[in-house]
Structure 1
Amino acid sequence: MATSPAAAPTSPPHGLSVGQLRELYYYLRLTRALEERLVALYRQNKVIGGLYRSLGQEGEAVATAYALRRRSDGTGDVLSPLIRNLGSMLVMGATPLEVLRQYMARGNSPTRGRELNIHFADLQRGFLGQISPLGAMVPVMAGITLGFKLRREPRVGMVYVGDGATSTGAFHEGLNFAAVQRCPLVVVVENNGYAYSTPVDRQTAAKAFVDKAPGYGIAGEQVDGNDVFAVYEAARRAVERARAGEGVTLLEVLTYRRKGHAEHDNQSYQPREEIEWWATHNDPLDRYVAAVRAHGWLSEEDLGAVDAQVDAELDAAVAAAEASPDADPATVTEDVYGDVPVRPHWTRLDPPEPSLA
């Protein structure tokens, strides 16, 4: 069981402005409220496939992504999320309407009904579509951030993995490669207690995942994942190290998954009293609101205005998503195979026709 929440800082970290504090609350509130709307749609059979929630983990997803340099022109930092990082994608610029259309497999969703949930990408805004096999995005992000380094671009990558992914070969190979090449990469290990139904003590013999960092020769830091300010500070340090050319950081965030692996999971492997303790004593939104209230950083009017903004945005987004067309079966083969035949490259042993030379 986690320790009691630490006392809130006396001033916002890194000089966060009132506007930034409001923005952080906006993304926290938006993430939770959007997933609650998705639950309602799921129960109405309007969501296609599974629904994967981040209840209890929204704080670390939002706070880590908030430490990145966000751009909309393809020149900012790049993030590789997992299924419980909806908050990270929203911070990077994904919209609730895009997410709703994805989950509902609408024809005007980012993948035009070919993929579901948050499996979509936008390199202009700086987020990748995830690969489902555990750990597979670590070597992908190692390659992307090596490209940043070779092109001398002051950009950073951030990749999320769960505790289960740390047991895979892809995680090890990708992290080792990134460490040796000193790639500007932050690897966020979300220690939420369970890899589907496997508890952490059956996943690793290490006392903490951060203890693995010295074996790769990289920086490591462990942080209370439900303390938004602490996560933001730790992520900022890791991002600054990466941007300064100091290589990879493994950031372990201690959090808890209060829902099952997906909405259909009955969580029979999680003690009910454990779930209730985290909901009552260690909820990231509750802790954030308590801190900004206690220090007078945000007023009740500020918080209420954000709540109203989120509710209005989601009302409009749900209505637009429900009115969106289904995917057109006639387009099922488009964007799957090459639509235009491409002539293979020629060699000296197989020269092209003179007209094609």
Structure 2
Amino acid sequence: MATKTKTRTAAIPHGLTREQLLEMYRLVRLTRSLEEKLEVLFKQSKVVGGLFRSLGQEGESVASAFALNRRDDGTGDMLSPLIRNLGSMLTIGSRPVEVVKQYMAKADSLARGKELNIHITDYQRGFIGQISPLGDLIPVMAGVALTFKQRGQDRVGMVYIGDGATSTGAFHEGVNFAAVQRLPLVVIVENNQWAYSTPSKFMTAAKQFIDKAPGYGVAGEQVDGNDMLAVYAASKRAVDRARAGEGVTLLEFMTYRRKGHAQHDAQTYVDPAEIEHWASTNDPIDRYVKTLVDNGWATAEELTAIGADIDRELDEAVAEAEQSPLPEPEEALTDVYGDGPVNAPWTRHTPPDPTLA
């Protein structure tokens, strides 16, 4: 009688559990599928403004943010993404229906139609929306991390920057300040080979962006950004260092952007063969699936079931967003200007409140 061969299960590395491995798969699959849904909505003229895909680099966004402590009460770690970090937003706590409503500029979106794509903030869940002038979020997140240190809080900040934006003065000032103050901050440079249409070799004379770390006196590590487990391990080391009071870590994730800067960008400046090479040999999701199945950590059937649940969730999210109303014109006047302090130059026409004297 034939005997059934047992499938050997490899030990799971980096202190992760099988459930966490499957959750990382769900999040990275959710990221790609959500962006695919948004692309369909964009082509139907239902998206207001631009659409920015992270095709080919979703894995590093999810795996890096997975190293943070997430809490929904405003006491967890804090993350600040760029336009291609939807995966990190979903990992820290953003919900797909919120993202769809945001892209469609609906009245019940987090920004209520005033801001688009992932320019959204929720301090309770731990994410701060991006700033369009690239590089500016580095000093902002350095300031956030400074408050963690001054208050003695067990919290860490994580901020993403593109390879092109490392050339900005704000990047230099923010990293330098965070380094001098030994702030609990993780700075992630996403080296996806292109800053819009400019290749990395025209942006720095350094052989690699991680070479900048010693100049600031901070720890640095370069990682294969399409290897999700390697990204998680490096990010966890950096987060643990920050939490232990050891200061800033500069991480460089080597990855690739397989879409143009935004949906309107046909990416004609890139050799199509280069894109196909990355798609066929170094897709982060394909690599992660192979790792899960080959090591016996998940079955193909389990992953298929997760995908089916995601598809249902996204169908419901789009249906809900399409039923949501657009904001009323008066909404444009709310939450734009602050009242300002009493007797400030711009409010002197208002009589002072005697109760505040």
| Map of 2:245 onto structure 1 | 245
TM-score norm. by structure 1 comes to 0.94
Question: Structure 2 vs 1, CA of residues 337 and 294 (structure 1 numbering), >3 Å: closer, same or farther?
Answer: same
- The CA distance in 1 between the partners of 2:159 and 2:240, in whole Å, is 16
**What is the deviation of 1:134?**
1.1
Query: How well do the aligned residues superpose, as a CA RMSD in angstroms?
Result: 1.6
Amino acid at match of 1:273: A
- 1:135 corresponds to which residue? 135
Q: CA deviation at 1:332?
A: 1.5
Match of 2:3 in 1: none
Rounded to whole Å, the distance in 2 between the matches of 1:274 and 1:248 is 34
User: What is the match of residue 344 of structure 1?
Assistant: 343
Give the 3-state SS of the residue equivalent to 1:344 in structure 2: coil
- 2:158 matched to which residue of 1? 158
Displacement after TM superposition at 1:356 (Å): 4.3
Instruction: State the Cα deviation string for residues 233-277 of structure 1 (Å, max 9, x = none).
Output: 000000000000000000000000000000110101111000000
Distance 2:156 2:130 in 1: 17
Which residue number corresponds to residue 328 of structure 1?
328
Question: In the superposition, relative to structure 1, how do residues 268 and 342 fare at CA in structure 2: closer, same or farther (>3 Å)?
Answer: same
Number of aligned residue pairs: 344
Counterpart of 1:47, as a letter, is V
1:125 is paired with a residue whose SS is coil
Secondary structure of the equivalent of 2:304?
helix
- Equivalent residue for 1:149? 149
CA distance in 2: counterparts of 1:167 and 1:291, whole angstroms: 36
The whole-number CA distance in structure 2 between the counterparts of 1:113 and 1:81 is 20
User: 1:44 and 1:215, CA in 2 relative to 1: closer, same or farther beyond 3 A?
Assistant: same
TM superposition shift of 1:331: 2.0
Is the CA contact 2:105–2:112 (under 8 Å) kept in the aligned structure 1? Answer: yes
Q: 1:13 to 1:334 in 2, by over 3 A?
A: same
Cα drift, residue 353 of structure 1: 7.2
Report what 2:282 is aligned to: 282
Distance 1:82 1:27 in 2: 17
Q: 2:206 and 2:10 mapped to 1: Cα distance?
A: 34
TM-score (norm 2): 0.94
Report the residue type matching 2:149 in the other structure. Answer: K
Q: What is the CA distance between 1:11 and its match in structure 2?
A: 3.1
- Given that 2:10 and 2:297 are in contact with CA atoms closer than 8 Å, whether structure 1 keeps it comes out as no
How much identity, in percent, do the aligned residues show? Answer: 64
Render the CA deviation track for 1:111-143: whole Å, top value 9, x for unaligned: 000000000000100000111111000000111
Deviation at 1:10, TM superposition (A): 4.9
Name 1:37's counterpart in structure 2. Answer: 37
Q: Which runs of 4+ in 1 moved over 6 A?
A: none
Assess if the C-alpha contact under 8 Å between 2:12 and 2:18 holds in 1. Answer: no
